[in-house]
Amino acid sequence: MSRQPLLAGNWKMNLNHLEAIALVQKIAFALPEKYFDKVEVAVLPPFTDLRSVQTLIDGDKLLLRHGAQDVSPHDSGAYTGDVSAPMLAKLGCDYVVTGHSERREHHGETDETVNRKTRAVLKHEMTPILCVGEPLDVREAGDHVRHCTSQLIEGLKGLKQEQVARAVIAYEPVWAIGTGKVATSEDAQEVCAALRGALVDKYGSEIAEQVRILYGGSVKSSNISELLGQGDVDGALVGGASLNGDEFAKMSAMA
Ligand code: PEP
């Protein structure tokens, strides 16, 4: 089965809404529409930029997709500072990241929290980008495959088969995020293949073959082709390099 590649730009906590508009315009200008048949391209700005980005994308009928970097597991209520899935759906979000290692690390998110957030995203008809990945000590102990498959299975707990088929998974080794240390294409393929294998075991091959599995961690135009050339790597989640419009457009054209 052929899966459409996805390139998603995680802006993290960067760019105000005016800078966000400028970056989306730059990407749109640098990336001819013909590429969108081949690859799906999404930007994931901070919450405060979403309305501006949505207005620009809708107004100019851009083929770019947009989404958020986090979500509350609750639909509404006394959760000061949080943003819910219905709010993100109303802003036209296609994607929401769940379980990014920076949220697991800085906000103490457990697999259970990540699972509740993932379910909230799917309940409101958006697509989760569920991140899994091992820290350096786990890799050095040779336990990375078990670590990542466990995060995957826990993150998807309780989902229906058709919801799993719609989900996107991102393998992001923690030691490769923002460090400039990219995993080799063999490292990426090893874990992405193991993740698909775990999906086969749990949900069957028909479902597992539909799930897109991305690699993330210091991806840039100089290494994207080799990473995406691997059989189980269906795209990339890009952090730092997605803040440069020309570079992100270049990567999209190569995906
Ligand atoms: C990320 O934050 O998801 C990421 C992959 O970051 P970077 O590309 O900067 O390593």
Element (DSSP H or E) covering residue 97: strand 95-98
CA-nearest residue for atom 2, ligand 1, is 239
Give the Cα separation of 26 and 20 in Å (integer).
10
pLDDT tens digits, 209-222:
999 999 999 999 99
Residue 219 beta carbon below 6 angstroms from any ligand 1 atom: yes
Helix, strand and coil in the chain, % to nearest 5: 50, 15, 35
Query: What is the value of ipTM here, to two decimals?
Result: 0.97
Contact between 237 and 10 under an 8 Å Cβ cutoff? The reply is: yes
Contact between 219 and 182 under an 8 Å Cβ cutoff? The reply is: yes
pLDDT tens digits, 107-159:
999 999 999 999 999 999 999 999 999 999 999 999 999 999 999 999 999 99
Q: What is the mean pLDDT of residues 83-111?
A: 98
pTM, rounded to two decimals? 0.97
Residue type, 146: R
- CA–centroid distance, 204 to ligand 1, in Å, is 30
Candidate from 174, 218, 244, 247 with most ligand 1 atoms within 8 A of CB, to mutate: 218
